A and B are shown apart, each in its own frame.
Chain A
Amino acid sequence: MTDLKPRYDLAVIGAGPAGLAAATLAATRGLSTVLLDEQAAPGGQIYRAITRSPVRNPNVLGTDYWHGADLVGPFRDSGADYLPGAAVWSVSRTLDIGLSRDGAARILPARHVILATGALERPFPVPGWTLPGVMGAGAAQILLKTSGLVASGNVVMAGSGPLLWLLAWQYLRAGARIDAILDTTPRENWRQAMPLLPAFARSGYVGKGLKLLLEVRRKVKVIGNVSALRAEGDGRVQSVVYRQGNGAEQRLPADTLLLHHGVIPNINLANATGCAQSWDEAQRCWVPDVDGWGATSVEGVAIAGDGAGIGGALAAEHRGRLTALDALHRLGAIDRATRDRDAAPHREALDRALRGRDFLDALYRPGKDFRVPADDTIVCRCEEVTAGQVRDAVKLGVSGPNQTKSFLRCGMGPCQGRLCGPTVVEVIADARGVSPAEVGYYRLRPPVKPITLAELASLPKAEDEVAAVMHH
């Protein structure tokens, strides 16, 4: 970390499409810029391992994936500094960034910060989802991109949403076998989605999406209208039990079960920084409040990409450029008129990229049974708290997720609520008969990644800070 400057005009956190595009534009136009990323190589999750994927056949991952390379080249030429392998655990309101790398921590001050922390898979709490061999479909995709690994033996995919179908398509391209896809998309979603179909039909996705769907459906047994799901096994997943509609339980052997029902913004860092957030009913998740430039309620902190609401990879890159232009303006490098003029093509491209998103949100909105699980389902994986325990706590007067922490330790494990927060909110809201908006979300605090005392102790300290501790 010694080659870092002592201070930057702009720090961008996250090297996915939004972060890469933001850092490239800002650095090219003269801001001293650093891109901090937790991964060892750029690309984020969508373009994971884009510079070094061992998957040699480009048809396996598809052209949309390889587009990521178009972002990395210009970034490398932009003059921005790049710090991979860096876990950012705090952004203060004074824009001091706490980060750890190779077991040492440091504080990096910036004049402006763009959070580009992207998305994570919406938790999919079903009985048995903690068994080894049950993973997110996104996790399986990462294994494919980074290591050329595909599930073998009996493979079952379950859930809903574009990523599930994309992974199935990539698996087929890679020559992998899928026993079945259990489609949990609620049939009634079509009613909400139909009025939005015309806009989707004009988007760039419709042709590609249909082709992909048909190809998968031709080659894989797709079981629709799945209303209940659980994984069973001794020490690892061995079978998947499901129900179609109100039908009887069916069982499939499974060595691997890949779950997915959409992605949600990864809000932990924004939340801990103090950025205001709101419940998004359409995407059924908490989303930080941002304006058209990605600016949050915290002065000097903006969010670009899926971290500010799911829009997909292409939208993320355009949003990255818009937040970068606003950073240039706020730091005095360009005037407002220049910002607005230069933003025009990116805004147009963003509108195009977002066209049809409403349709996908409505069609793939996860069914209630999978968002609000039954009593025996583990909700908090870290502390092994069930939905039933959360409901019992509500009966005792718990009104929101922050109180479940004190009652149940729910949300207090190392994942810091990332894998339980959305479900806890849904379960409490359902039990109380109110909207998740009223229930609220965890109040998160830094550090948002676990750090050791040794890392904290390695932070440079001023003499008066040492004296303050030593003499009291």
Chain B
Amino acid sequence: MFQRLPDAGGERVSFTIDGQPAEALSGDSVAAALIANGVGACRTTPVSGAPRGPYCMMGVCFDCLVTIDGTGNQQGCQIRVHPGMRVETQNGKREIER
């Protein structure tokens, strides 16, 4: 659970999480945008199916992998959210066609 500081400045960005409309702040990474929207777990692991959420926020742990605009295994913390972006949580391995 995270919340935005009341005076945090910036433009609002509309995007979707698993098809549901969501809002982020301009400059948010996808991982930050998920956290800001109360989505703590963004994927399940390919090995045991355990849920995972962002851990390092700096591109080293790869726990924040999500599907972005149809492409799987994207590092959510390394990509900025943009208007209309389609973010999907991921189950297990990346599928071959995405």
Contacts and interface: CB of A to CB of B under 8 A. Distances in A.
Interface string B1-39: 111110111100000000000000101110010011000
Interface string B54-98: 111111111101000000010001101000000000000000000
Given A132-B40, A150-B3, A52 B57 contact: no
A393 interface: no
Nearest to B47: A384
Question: What secondary structure prevails in chain B residues at the interface with A?
Answer: loop
A153 interface: yes
A256 B36 contact: no
Interface in A401-430: 413-415, 418-419
Nearest to A129: B55
Interface in A291-307: none
Contacts of B32: 143, 146-147, 149
Interface string B35-50: 1100011000101101
Contact count band on B: 35 or more
A209 interface: no
Interface stretch (A133-141, A157-165, A329-337): A133-141
Interface string A438-469: 00000000000010000000000000000000
Given A143-B2, A143-B35, A147-B25, A138 B60 contact: no
B60 A266 contact: yes
A134 B51 CA distance: 12
A172 interface: no
A151 B1 contact: yes
Residue from the set A52, A133, A450 with the largest chain B CB neighbour count within 10 Å: A133
Contact of A146 (B29, B48, B51): B29
B11 to A, nearest CB: 10
Contact count band on A: 35 or more
A121 interface: yes
Contact of B2 (A38, A131, A256): A256
B56 A139 contact: yes
Nearest to A45: B58
A450 B65 CA distance: 12
A18 B69 CA distance: 35
A384 B5 contact: no
A414 B65 contact: yes
Contacts of A384: 45, 47-48, 50
A185 to B, nearest CB: 22
A149 B58 contact: no
B80 A147 contact: no
B8 A133 contact: no
Contacts of B9: 54, 56, 148
Contact of B52 (A56, A132, A146): A132
Contacts of A383: 47
Given A139-B58, A266-B60, A414-B62, A149 B51 contact: no
A223 B96 CA distance: 48
Contacts of B52: 130, 132
Contacts of A52: 27
A120 B60 contact: yes
Contacts of A131: 51
B2 A55 contact: no
A357 interface: no
A39 B78 CA distance: 7
Nearest to A255: B1
Given A56-B9, A139-B55, A152-B1, A130 B50 contact: yes
A292 B92 CA distance: 46
Contacts of A142: 57-58, 77
Contacts of A135: 53-57
A142 B64 CA distance: 14
Nearest to A418: B60
Contacts of A414: 62, 65, 73
A148 B54 contact: no
B8 A55 contact: yes
Given A132-B51, A384-B47, A150 B5 contact: yes
A139 B57 CA distance: 5
Contacts of A149: 2-5, 8, 32, 35-36
A140 B35 CA distance: 11
Contacts of A450: 73
Given A56-B7, A149-B36, A381 B61 contact: yes
A174 B5 contact: yes
A382 interface: yes
B28 to A, nearest CB: 5
A347 interface: no
A57 interface: yes
Interface string A53-75: 01111001000000000000000
19 contacts: A38-B59, A55-B5, A55-B8, A56-B7, A121-B56, A132-B40, A133-B53, A135-B55, A138-B57, A143-B2, A146-B27, A147-B27, A148-B7, A149-B35, A150-B5, A174-B5, A236-B41, A414-B73, A419-B61
Interface of B: 1-5, 7-10, 25, 27-29, 32, 35-36, 40-41, 45, 47-48, 50-63, 65, 73, 77-78, 80
Going nearest first, the 5 A-B pairs with the smallest beta carbon separation are A148-B8, A132-B53, A139-B57, A414-B62, A132-B41
